[in-house]
A and B are shown apart, each in its own frame.
Chain A
Amino acid sequence: MSEQKQQWGSRLGVILAVAGSAVGLGNFLRFPGQAAQNGGGAFMIPYFCALLLLGIPIGWAEWTMGRYGGRKGFHSAPAIMGVVGKGRIARYFGIIGVLIPLGVYFYYVIIESWCLSYCFEYVRQIAGGAGLGIDSKAPIADQARSSAEFFDNFTGAKFDGVTVKGGIHESLVFWSLTFALNVWFVYRGLSKGIEAFCKWAMPAMAVCALVVLVRVLTLPANDALPDQNVLTGLGYMWNPDFAALKQAKTWMAAAGQIFFSLSVGFGVIINYASYMRRKDDVVLSGLTSAATNEMFEVGFGGMITLTSAFIFLGASGTIAAVQSGSFSLGFKTLPIVFAQMPMGNLIGALWFFMLFLAAITSSLSMLQPTKAFIEEAIGVSRKMSTTLVTIVALIGSFWVLWFSKDGVALGTIDEWVGTFLIVILAAVQVICFGWVFGLERGLREAHEGAQMRIPRVFGFVLKYVAPSYLLIAIFMFCKDDMPGMLTKLGGNPVARNTLIMIAVVIAGLMFLTYLGEKRWRAAGMDLDGEREPDDTKGHA
């Protein structure tokens, strides 16, 4: 089916690749805001509960299903879900596991290019150039205006098409470069491309984060307002407000943060794990990837972002930054913080380089599932599958780049594909694992080659707790958020057309699944999970 069976070169490689997929901008920009708005330190109670009861168990199920599907010769979510879910319905639901990473890639690569360009601007500032154009001696309000203006002009937030009309806009250069880098690494394949890069990028991210953390924790108090110092900054983030624990939204926010942070239900882990061998451990590996994500999220994101903002902007400025959202915090507020900070240009460069590494290790993982699906659905070479996925991704990403006004296209895909469908896929996966494939069988499969045992209580969690949470979350989402999302579609042709584009992609994926089914049956593959895997057969 593919020219050469792809495999990970080492266990550490797959762990770092999955961790790289999980660690992204959300660890540094979304998590701190969620914690601060939902009880500060007290947020960690529902957060760690969700980690143990939702994130890690669902992750284990995905790793297990992925490796099992790989033993059958399948590497794509539709094929693997068909095996685990024993039939066509699960197989077609598995299409979501290709749609999500592909659809999210459309906009994620653009945000990634912003990180690279901001890093470049800081390097320019170090070299004496204008950079972001923020005057650190001006009043904070003026700095905020300059920062916002730079971001809006760079990203085309004011007008559609502004980044691609009338000459080559700088954002287009960085987008093209970032896109090309992604394609290059994915084309090089699993071991020589994604794994090799993640083995370097993940430690590099940790080093950058550590340098920034040390800088932030050694910052002197604000000269004008000595109450704005490291300790009060940390206190803003970590002092607990236990009253928040009485609100359901705190527990939902914590579970949501864990869910999206660990990239479960994203279609990536199931693909990455499919390249593992039968005796490769998935339990300790899955736990290690999750732990790595938490180290970055809590250990760095929880210590750096809001602490530094608080020292220079105070409580009101930090609250405003948090409420304005992750993009605003990352690309408008933090540059103001770096402008005030001693060695701010260097720290800014390191910070945005770290964010770029976090983003690219994630975006690589978003192209791979679609590439694998195309390869095994229609039996083309790696070169051809890379070409086809590049073409589709280029069209989708250019669409988002063009319709940049107010980030409508980006927001539409983020809501429908990057939020709603993730919960759907996770629910389908966990129900298939616990109820169709069978929990006992699933745990037996997970323990093949495992270097730690899954505690027995997680069986109950996987069969009852996780599916219940996800089904409730879907119901609440449909009740509370869907009406607003539908209203937005009605009032905005760009949002509507973006969703139509997604529908076209879905139709294409369904057609490919149909072709794949015929191909897999003709090759005698067990696409409905009717037989045990035959590990003696090499799958092409």
Chain B
Amino acid sequence: MTTQGWVFMVTSLAFVWGLCAWCYYRVLSTPPAD
């Protein structure tokens, strides 16, 4: 695994996991519409 490979892998994983976590945090913490 090259340095560039690490960069692409970590960045991609951080993006998808981060986006997913943020989305579910928003969904679960926001009260439902009336």
Contacts and interface: CB of A to CB of B under 8 A. Distances in A.
Interface of A: 10-12, 15, 40-42, 44, 48, 231-232, 234-235, 237-240, 277, 279-281, 284-285, 287-288, 291-292, 294-295, 297-299, 302-303, 449, 451-452
A280 B30 CA distance: 12
Contact of A240 (B4, B15, B23, B27): B4
Given A285-B27, A288-B23, A294-B16, A277 B33 contact: yes
27 contacts: A11-B27, A15-B27, A41-B8, A41-B9, A44-B8, A231-B1, A234-B1, A234-B9, A235-B1, A235-B2, A238-B1, A238-B5, A238-B9, A239-B1, A239-B8, A281-B33, A284-B30, A288-B23, A288-B24, A291-B16, A292-B23, A294-B16, A294-B19, A298-B13, A298-B16, A302-B12, A452-B26
A239 B27 contact: no
Given A48-B15, A291-B23, 13 more contacts: A15-B27, A41-B7, A41-B8, A238-B1, A238-B6, A240-B4, A287-B23, A292-B20, A292-B23, A298-B13, A303-B13, A451-B27, A452-B26
A238 B8 contact: yes
B21 to A, nearest CB: 9
Interface of B: 1-2, 4-9, 11-13, 15-17, 19-20, 22-24, 26-28, 30, 32-34
A476 B28 CA distance: 43
Contacts, number: 89
B16 A235 contact: no
- Give the secondary structure class of A's interface: helix
Contacts of A281: 33
Q: Which 10 A-B pairs have the closest CB atoms?
A: A41-B8, A235-B1, A279-B33, A239-B5, A288-B23, A238-B9, A291-B20, A238-B5, A295-B20, A294-B16
A303 B12 CA distance: 11
A280 B33 CA distance: 6
Contacts of B33: 277, 279-281, 449
B8 A12 contact: no
B25 to A, nearest CB: 10
A284 B20 contact: no
Contacts of B30: 284, 451
Nearest to B13: A299
Nearest to A281: B33
